[in-house]
Structure 1
Amino acid sequence: MLNGSLKLSLLECGCNVNDISIKLDGGASWLYQGLIDAFEGKIGSAVENAVSKKIRDAIIKLDLQLQSLPKEAPITNFAELNVTFVDDPELSESSLDLEVDGLFSAKHEAALSNHYHRLLQASSSCKEADKMVKISLQENVMKSASSVYFEANKMHWIVDKVPDQSLLNTAGWRFIIPQLYKMYPNHDMNLNLSVSSPPILNVEKQQIKAKIPLDVVIDVLDVEEVIPVACISTVISASVSPGISGNALTGYVKLNDITMSLKWSKIGDLHMNLVQMLMSTTLRTVVLPYVNLKLSKGFQIPVFHGYGLQDAHILCTDSWIVICSDVAPVKQFNLI
């Protein structure tokens, strides 16, 4: 391995022809047969040299191809995956073990590499012995993805439509926040949701625990002006059940707990118990279904030289996500 790329070097190469036999039939074959017998040693030596040269040339060609493998795999227009190798390959009787960095980074930015080498327990191995590949993802891969998406400002949503649209009018809040209705009677509102720091993710058995710090800003729509009137600091604790569909990672989020506190307000003190009840309903009925809809569509796993996953299974264990799968040409998926 050299600078994150695989390097193949030929230590020794030789070809030994123990015996060579060439027989000619017909015509003047007796004459040519004598010449061939006379030069049998030189013919054998030429074969040895030719075979050795072919092997050396093949090793050099393969080494150049290994050196040309990409070190980054694009994921989105702002994120990429570090696929540099972090250890020498390990070859066994039935498998080839390759370890890559696997951390996400913003495009055109160097990522800080951390190598988390650890042997997985037998319980986390693929049960299907005939699966072609096993991909093991350490939880820091997800943490790096979370950080990149956060820095790219992709964890921001504006809620302007809910099943009960009266909740997005100050009249619907007049008993919960009377001052809001008094200052802005019958004004439409929206909720501006922004993740305030990268979510904390931990992989446990059969699930991923997530703690998401969220700022919820209440905006009042006054003619063509958007007026922020209060900000509620929120921490959401959730469980994520990961899945895999085709060549995409999917998931489903279950809400475990919500805590809220007033960060700032232009409309006086708020009755946070009542606000939390209303906000919790909004998160459960609007935000969570939206997130689960996005997760159901999945995040594409990078295709490697035209090949993707097929009939894949996923499981979680302590700090690791393991994917067991066959592989097939990507074009084949489009025909199904």
Structure 2
Amino acid sequence: MGGVIVGTYFLSIFVALLLLPSTFAELNETRYDLRHSRFKIVDESEREGSNGLGGEISDSRKETKNIPVGGSDLDVAGIMITPSESGLNYVKEVLVDQILQEITPLALPDIKAHVDSPIGTIDTRISHIELSGANVSYSDVDLGKTGITVFAGDIQARLRLHWYYEYSAAYVPFPINDGGWADVEVNGMQAGVTFTLTTHNGTLRLTVVECGTFIDDLDIELNGGASWLYRWFVYAFDEEIRAAIETAISNKIVASAEQLDNYLQGLPRNLPIDDVSAIDVTIVGDPLVSPTFLSVGVKGEFTSLLKPINFTDPDHGLEPGLFCSDSTKMVTIALCDYVINSATTVYFEAGFLEWLVDELPQESWLNTHFWRWLIPQLYKKYPNMDMALDFACSTPPTVQLQRDGATANAMAELILLVKTDEKPLPVACISLALSMDAVVNVVGNNITAEATLNDLSLELKWSDVGNFPVNLLQPTLRTVISRVILPILNKKMKHGFPLPVLPAVDLENADIRYEEGHILICSDVYYKGGIFTPPPAPL
């Protein structure tokens, strides 16, 4: 028995010597890139038309979404999105966590070696290699001229594998073999990816520039067989194991980046609000990346789903890098007054800024008897007849955003109608100049507003019952506008319109800050998941 053990021991030493890198034996084995560089350059020509891993890009990435007709052709940013340092750190943590979930457990390819020697043939194999239990101790994000780098360091992971060898020779009556399992602790692993964000077909294109993984140390513990004899046998595969892990993880990171790119390419270029309008969320220009911030500009213009509208080109857009400077919130969304004014134009052109009022809190107001002291000739001509009020904006309302708040001005016409047996009969038209204060809020991922009447000016435009002093109508019409017209308008504005954030993200604890010509929405974000989740399989 002692002779067998000694013979096996020397045979194992011989096998290991043959497998060490310094040996002169010629190995027929699986090849890996053994360079321990931190990043591996990804050739852009390999990516064009492929997913970076040899697969074709799906047709959905090549499609361009149709944008509603109408609007301005001038590409200026009506909405600017700028993550803060805390926001970038949150994005980094989400990316690292999601990529770890995508990577582990990770099955690695088998590693084999076949050696023909003067004393016989030796076949060796490491199989069933699986990486699991990865933990990241440190991660960072860097904004540089070459792109955005996400780096994870001091990664600890576990590796489980099965080792096996078989020796045969003409003078040996039967093959000699042994095998067992090995547990490997992967220590000090580093992984990083650098990518760029550019505009592509109205959305963002994510392109991996560099990606790589480096392992500092492997601690191998063998189980089964004569494992105490063969520890160095597995260590002979140290370089191959490292290379297999590094290559597989780098490929997985690139695949996850491609998945994120596909998600971005599939985002809509416009967000429908209702049957009347949509908001144009195409990306304006390449994102601006600086050492201190990342800004993405969105057109933000409302477009009509009913008919083309030619807007007056805005005289300015939002500049990148707009921050809520003294805020700890994760993201700042700047919204230009042009966005809101494009919305009022669309709804004005669609006829949605006019209302027929035939019900009032005080029904007596809708009878000529109520107006007998204000417009005596109306009551004299149409005594005790029911009335209606036709309110319509004559031009699109305009909104001004200033440091002390938001105001809106509107020109409107109010037609007094008398209900006859045939149809309502217009008897007088009053021109209105309304000045309103507005309060902007964020509800969920939507921006909403509420208006209150500030000032009201009246002028008689025409009358079929003769001239009358319109100033006497001021208290009554203020009440009608405040209690009837504005509640109708506020009910519509209560639903608001969606801000251009990813569907997988919710805004939380948003604050509003007013600036000259724009507002700043300072908010935290919460990732709900879904970007890296594959779509459900068809039934």
Sort the TM-score into its range (normalised by shorter chain): 0.7 to 0.9
How far apart are 1:8 and its partner, in Å? 1.5
On the 8 A contact 2:279/2:302 being kept in 1, the answer is yes
Who is 2:496 aligned against?
Answer: 299
Amino acid in the other structure paired with 2:365: L
Question: 22-31 vs 94-103, which deviates more?
Answer: 22-31
Amino acid in the other structure paired with 1:299: G
On the 8 A contact 1:74/1:81 being kept in 2, the answer is yes
Question: 96-105 vs 112-121, which deviates more?
Answer: 112-121
Who is 2:21 aligned against?
Answer: none
Question: 282-291 vs 223-232, which deviates more?
Answer: 282-291
Who is 1:211 aligned against?
Answer: 409
Who is 1:117 aligned against?
Answer: 318
Amino acid in the other structure paired with 2:340: M
On the 8 A contact 1:136/1:320 being kept in 2, the answer is yes
* Partners of 2:477 and 2:238 in 1: CA distance: 91
1:193 aligned residue (364, 385, 391): 391
Question: 85-94 vs 266-275, which deviates more?
Answer: 85-94
On the 8 A contact 1:74/1:80 being kept in 2, the answer is yes
Question: 92-101 vs 309-318, which deviates more?
Answer: 92-101
How far apart are 1:292 and its partner, in Å? 5.0
What is the DSSP-based 3-state SS (H/G/I as helix, E as strand, rest coil) of the residue aligned with 1:216? strand
How far apart are 1:316 and its partner, in Å? 1.1
TM-score, normalization by structure 2: 0.53
On the 8 A contact 2:213/2:246 being kept in 1, the answer is yes
* Partners of 1:221 and 1:108 in 2: CA distance: 32
On the 8 A contact 1:246/1:311 being kept in 2, the answer is no
On the 8 A contact 1:126/1:134 being kept in 2, the answer is no
On the 8 A contact 2:368/2:383 being kept in 1, the answer is yes
1:160 aligned residue (358, 361, 369): 358
Instruction: Report Cα offsets for 1:178-199 as digits up to 9, x if no partner.
Output: 3322332211111100111110
Q: How does 1:271-310 map to 2 (within 5 A)?
A: 271-276=469-474, 278-288=476-486, 290-292=488-490, 297-299=494-496, 301=498, 304-310=502-508
The Cα RMSD (Å) is 3.4
1:226 aligned residue (413, 420, 424): 424
How far apart are 1:139 and its partner, in Å? 0.7
1:88 aligned residue (247, 271, 286): 286
* Partners of 1:292 and 1:57 in 2: CA distance: 47
Structure 2 residue 384 is matched with structure 1 residue 183? no
* Partners of 2:308 and 2:492 in 1: CA distance: 28
Q: Which is strand-richer, 1 or 2? A: 2
How far apart are 1:160 and its partner, in Å? 2.2
How far apart are 1:276 and its partner, in Å? 4.6
Who is 1:149 aligned against?
Answer: 347
* Partners of 1:274 and 1:322 in 2: CA distance: 42
Who is 1:333 aligned against?
Answer: none
* Partners of 2:250 and 2:361 in 1: CA distance: 74
Instruction: Report Cα offsets for 1:37-57 as digits up to 9, x if no partner.
Output: 555555554444434433333
| Structure 1: unaligned runs, 5 residues or longer | 331-336
Who is 1:79 aligned against?
Answer: 277
Q: Which is helix-richer, 1 or 2? A: 1
Identity %: 38
Q: How many residues align?
A: 326
* Partners of 2:266 and 2:483 in 1: CA distance: 49
Who is 1:334 aligned against?
Answer: none
Structure with higher Rg: it is 2
What is the DSSP-based 3-state SS (H/G/I as helix, E as strand, rest coil) of the residue aligned with 1:69? coil
What is the DSSP-based 3-state SS (H/G/I as helix, E as strand, rest coil) of the residue aligned with 2:283? coil
| Structure 2: unaligned runs, 5 residues or longer | 1-198, 529-539
Structure 2 residue 316 is matched with structure 1 residue 132? no
